[in-house]
Amino acid sequence: MSGFFKSSIGRKVAMALSAFFLMFFLLQHFAINLLSVFSADAFNEVSHFMGTNPLIQYALQPVLIFGVVFHFVMGFVLELKNKKAQGVSYARNNGAANSSWMSRNMIWSGVAILAFIILHFIDFWFPEINTKFIEGDWSGMHDGQFRYYHELQEKFVSPVRVGAYVLAFVFLMLHLLHGFTSAFQSMGSTAGRKKVLQNIGKIYSIIIPLGFVIIAIYHHLNHNH
Amino acid sequence: MNLTLKIWRQKDSNAKGQMVDYKVTDISEHMSFLEMMDVLNEQLVNSGEEPVAFDHDCREGICGMCSMYINGEAHGPDRGITTCQLHMRMFKDGDTITIEPFRAAAFPVIKDLVVDRTAFERIQQAGGYISVNTSGNTQDANAIPISKHAADEAMDAATCIGCGACVATCKNASAMLFVGAKVSQYALLPQGQVEAADRVQNMVAQMDLEGFGNCTNTGACEIECPKGISLENIARMNRELMKANL
């Protein structure tokens, strides 16, 4: 089996498996963010649960970190191998004649998403780890109130950060528009070539990033009131 | 019509190549692309220059020998054809046409537009066959019942002529459409299923060894394939390899 994951196809399968996991995580993250629009209390409750539940903190969180790092590292490794396999570049190449921009530029949309994840970690994840694991404060409280909703709103005050956030989600949409159906194909399923799944892919790829963007803009505007 | 041709010239596999401009005049729109190349070469021979080397054989879209990357596309701008089936009516008078060899590290240039595609043959030799005992009592293949659907799909996969357009057009120089077709044509039939696991493992291992890139499902190969080999063959190969490893 270890030989399988060293083969070109095995690596495709590994990319697809990590992609499915990340797409599932994204859906879950979106659902929680959406709560913040409807109820600050509900958002606080769920955030506190996610942030303190031992199963999530000690089992799922490391798996998620591994999934993210694996998907990026493998993506870069495969890109380098593929560049090498191509050898000399064409003087004239009409890529648009037979493939989508998204499919030809997964590495660039991926790099944009990586840049966003670094910003996101600096904004949320590192302070969270610092509070809980270094300062040892697992209460989730600040000045007698849950801190999560307040922290979320604080981050969306700056229009520059909201702008970067929106741009990152445009790249995420482009990445998903190819990645969603591509992952099925890599897993050996022809379902990604069927209209039904292509439409589900389009809906997922557009609605989720657009939803994240709307939530960010909502908090940006709401805070300024 | 009168045309300007920008053609990759390379003396041999070790030489450094470059694009060279040529002019051809009075080209008929009814000519095939290779006939236009013949006109150019006659012109070059008559003026004492070295003709442009290019691959060709049957000139009727069956052998898969003719290659060339024309105006940024394998086999040029038309669909479902090889270069010998590309007609000059696809171009306009005064056009500049860029002609390059198929590019892939696994397809090194031998001379000008001729590339070495024997990597495909080595992949075939690794498992693209069925073992038949030819002791004199070989069974008639038609004696084995095969569903119409499986027979049709196997036949579609078997129409691959191994031209290498899939590799040439792939941004990753991946050979997975070719290997997928060869794996599929046997995996779909009872005669091929006996050795299916070894076949897919050995062919994929040889494909990786030859230095072909990895498929990222852009779908360019399927569109440029002169025989319309479907991406479903790549999905089937992925399934076959997973099955062989489980």
Please report the pLDDT score of residue B26 as a whole number. 95
pLDDT digits (tens, 9 = 90+) for A67-114: 999 999 999 999 999 999 999 999 999 999 999 999 999 999 999 999
CATH of the domain at A205: 1.20.1300
pLDDT digits over B195-238, tens only? 999 999 999 999 999 999 999 999 999 999 999 999 999 999 99
Which pLDDT tens digit goes with each residue over A146-202?
Answer: 899 998 998 899 999 999 999 999 999 999 999 999 999 999 988 777 889 999 999
Nearest to A82 among B100, B103, B214 (CB): B214
Q: If you measure CA to CA, which chain B residue comes closest to A193?
A: B232
String of DSSP letters for A24-81:
HHHHHHHHHHHHHHH-HHHHHHHHHHHHH-HIIIIIIHHHHHHHHHHHHHHHHHHHHH
CATH superfamily of B3-111: Beta-grasp domain (3.10.20.30)
Tell me the ipTM for this assembly.
Answer: 0.91
Q: Is the distance from CB of B22 to CB of B5 less than 8 angstroms? A: yes
The confidence score (pLDDT) of residue B10 equals: 98
The candidate with the shortest Cα–Cα distance to B106, out of B11, B9, B15, B206, is B206
The CA distance from B242 to the nearest CA of chain A, in Å, is 8
Distances from the Cα of A134 to the Cα of A52, A137, B90, angstroms: 14, 8, 69
At B139, the pLDDT band (50, 70, 90 cuts) reads confident
Report residue B179's pLDDT band, with 50, 70 and 90 as the boundaries. very high
pLDDT of B142 reads 84
Residue A190 within any structural domain of the chain = yes
What is the domain count for chain A?
A: 1
Statement: residue B39 has pLDDT above 60: yes
With cut-offs at 50, 70 and 90, classify the pLDDT of residue B138: confident
The Cα of B98 is separated from the nearest Cα of chain A by a number of Å equal to: 7
Asked whether residue A177 is domain-assigned, the answer is yes
> What average pLDDT does range B147-175 have in this prediction?
97
Show residues of chain B in contact with A193, CB under 8 Å: 231-232, 235
Distance from CA of A109 to the nearest CA of B (A): 14
Q: Rounded to an integer, what distance in angstroms lies between the CA atom of residue B146 and that of residue B132?
A: 18
A166 lies in some domain: yes
For residue A2, the model assigns a pLDDT of: 66
A91 interface with B at CB cutoff 8 Å:
yes
Query: Residue A120 has which token pair?
Result: 């996101």
CA atoms within 13 A on the CB side of A48: 17
Per-residue pLDDT of B6-28, as tens digits, reads 999 999 999 999 999 999 999 99
Residue A188 lies in a domain: yes
Residue A224 has pLDDT above 60, yes or no: no
Pairing of strands B96-100, B18-24: unpaired
Amino acid letter, B103: R
Domain residue limits at A169 = 2-85+106-224
Tokens 């129409």, residue? Answer: B159
Q: Which of A74, A76, A94, A99 to mutate to test the interface with B (most CBs of B within 10 A)?
A: A99
The DSSP-derived string for chain B is --EEEEEEE-SSTTSPPEEEEEEE-S--TTSBHHHHHHHHHHHHHHTTPPPPP---SSSSSSS-----EETTEET-SSSS--GGG-BGGGS-TT-EEEEE----TTS-EEETTEE--HHHHHHHHTT-S-----SS-PPPGGGS---HHHHHHHHHHHT-----HHHHH-TT-B-HHHHHHHHHHHHTSHHHHTTHHHHHHHHHHHHHHTT-B------HHHHH-TT---THHHHHHHHHHHHHH-
Distance in angstroms (rounded) separating the CA atoms of residues B123 and A151: 58
Residue A96 in any domain: the answer is no
A129-138 — which CB contacts under 8 Å span 24+ positions?
Answer: A132/A51, A132/A52, A132/A57, A138/A52
Work out the number of other CB atoms within 10 angstroms of the CB of residue A58: 9
**How confident is residue B132, by pLDDT bands cut at 50, 70 and 90?**
confident
**Dist CA B163 CA B168 (whole Å):** 9
Identify the H or E element spanning A139: none
Q: Is the pLDDT of residue A143 over 70?
A: yes
Residues contacting B75, CB < 8 A, separation 6+: B66, B67, B68, B81, B82, B83, B86, B163, B165, B224, B226
Place of tokens 């080999």: B229
Number of H helices, E strands in chain A: 11, 2
Rounded distance between C-alpha atoms, residue B38 and residue B31, angstroms: 10
Please report the pLDDT score of residue A75 as a whole number.
97
Cβ contact, residue pair A78, B216, below 8 Å:
yes
Q: If DSSP codes are grouped into helix, strand and coil, which group holds residue A125?
A: helix
Q: In whole numbers, what is the pLDDT of chain B averaged over residues?
A: 96
Nearest-Cα residue of chain A relative to residue B168? A86
Average pLDDT over all residues of chain A: 93
Structure tokens given for A54: 């031992």
Top-confidence residue, A177 or A225: A177
Among 1.10.10.10, 3.40.50.10950, 3.40.50.620, 1.10.1060.10, name the CATH number for the domain at B117-132+144-245. 1.10.1060.10
pLDDT at position A3: 81
Domain boundaries, chain B: 3-111, 117-132+144-245
Task: Enter the pTM of the model.
Answer: 0.94
Distance from CA of B229 to the nearest CA of A (A): 14
- Averaged over B100-125, what is the pLDDT? 98
CA distance B42 to B39: 5
Residue A76 is assigned to a structural domain of this protein: yes
Residue A141: predicted pLDDT: 85
